[in-house]
Amino acid sequence: MIAMVIAFFSLHSPAFESQGIIPQEYGCSGKGMSPELVWENPPEGTEYFTLIVQDETNDLVLWKLRQIPSELRRIPRGGALPKGVLEEIHYKPFCPPFGEKHHYVFALYAMKGEDKSLEGEIVGKAEMKAFFQQEPHKTAPNPPFKNPNRKENPDALESASYPLQEEEEEG
């Protein structure tokens, strides 16, 4: 029996901590773009990388990249990929049903040999796990209306992040 030795190396994201919460901007109700991923110390002999991002709660692959060059050490926010990288499964933003907290795994495989999905030899693996839960949509803040008969929205945000416009007076 031949024993396969797999080296482990590090993978992280500047956007969130491993075992942490993925920010809302990376979900389907946010900007829906992929987070930046950075890795260090892959094993010697790595010829290319394969990335698989999976919703473990639903057993669903959200993103799969192959033939990532061995000299690359990051995938930028939004997933601008260098020439030659194969996006086998296009990025899908995190989008569990409201109220459900899903568990996501980011797995980066250091590979050598022929690249046919994961048929090459895996020489190393880096993994990061995190959680995502969609927050309910809140509507805009209640502006200081001049009309005293106007009802306030009880679901409104507490403060504004944009300039408010005053409501025109009804004549």
CATH of the domain at 106: 3.90.280.10
| Least confident range of 111-120, 122-131, 162-171 | 162-171
161 belongs to a structural domain: no
Question: For residues 40 and 166, which has the higher predicted lDDT (pLDDT)?
Answer: 40
149 belongs to a structural domain: no
Cα–Cα dist 60/117, whole Å:
16
In a 3-state reduction of DSSP, which class is residue 83? Answer: coil
The DSSP bridge pattern shows strands 121-132 and 7-8 to be parallel
130 CB-contact burial (10 Å; exposed 0-12 / middle 13-18 / buried 19+): buried
Q: Across residues 47-62, what is the average pLDDT?
A: 95
pLDDT band, very low/low/confident/very high, at 170 (cuts 50, 70, 90): very low
pLDDT of 138 > 70? The answer is no
Please report the pLDDT score of residue 80 as a whole number.
84
| Model pTM score | 0.74
Q: Provide the number of structural domains found in the chain.
A: 1
Domain ranges, residue 18: 7-132
Q: What single-letter amino acid sits at 161?
A: S
CB burial string 1-14: b at 16+ within 10 A, e below: eeeeeebebebbbe
153 belongs to a structural domain: no
Order across the sheet with 121-132: list the strands: 7-8, 121-132, 102-112, 48-55, 60-69, 86-89
Please report the pLDDT score of residue 120 as a whole number.
72
Q: Across residues 130-156, what is the average pLDDT?
A: 61
CB atoms within 10 A of CB 125: 18
20 belongs to a structural domain: yes
pLDDT of 118 > 90? The answer is no
